[in-house]
Amino acid sequence: MSVRTSGGSAGEVRNTRQRRAVARALASLEDFISTQDLHALLRERGDSVSLATTYRILQSMSELGELDVLRSDDGEAIYRRCAAEHHHHHLVCRRCGAAVELEAPAVEEWAGRTAAAHGFTEVDHTVEITGLCAACAARRADG
């Protein structure tokens, strides 16, 4: 993980003990996790990071593009280390939360054209496709 370090200048991120603990915990996970579940995991590992600090670190990492952020069915933000270094989208299982990162050039082109047609510039977008993964669909079919 690349983290900008500084003596505290505005806009720069300090690589604190808490931030390193959060980064290590996220790096050990494959699936998305909520802030509260991550906080519980940190406590289990013996890392002393407050819930408020966990929220702030996740927000900062998200703003720096280090994390993928999705919304659970109940609207809670869930986080995962971003495996891709570039803009991408997600296919997410509604049942188990498994997520696949997708590259979608056609979506990128469509978003750009649509924005331009309506006079928008500096456009950003997120696409999240939900459904049942193969494993959950098979379990559902089995009864």
Tell me: is residue 136 an annotated ligand-binding position: yes
Structure tokens at 7: 């003596």
In whole angstroms, give the CA distance from residue 129 to residue 15. Answer: 34
The reply to whether 82 sits in an annotated binding site is no
Annotated binding residue 87 = yes
Q: Taking Cα atoms as reference points, which of 88, 102, 101 lies closest to residue 32? A: 101
Q: Give, in order, the Cα–Cα distances in Å from 35 to each of 29, 54, 100.
A: 13, 7, 21
To the question of whether residue 63 is assigned a binding role by annotation, the answer is no
Distance from C-alpha of 33 to C-alpha of 31, rounded to nearest angstrom: 6
96 is in an annotated binding site: yes
Q: How far apart are CA 30 and CA 109, in angstroms?
A: 30
For the annotated binding site, the residues are: 87, 93, 96, 108, 125, 133, 136
For the annotated binding site for Zn(2+), the residues are: 93, 96, 133, 136
For the annotated binding site for Fe cation, the residues are: 87, 108, 125
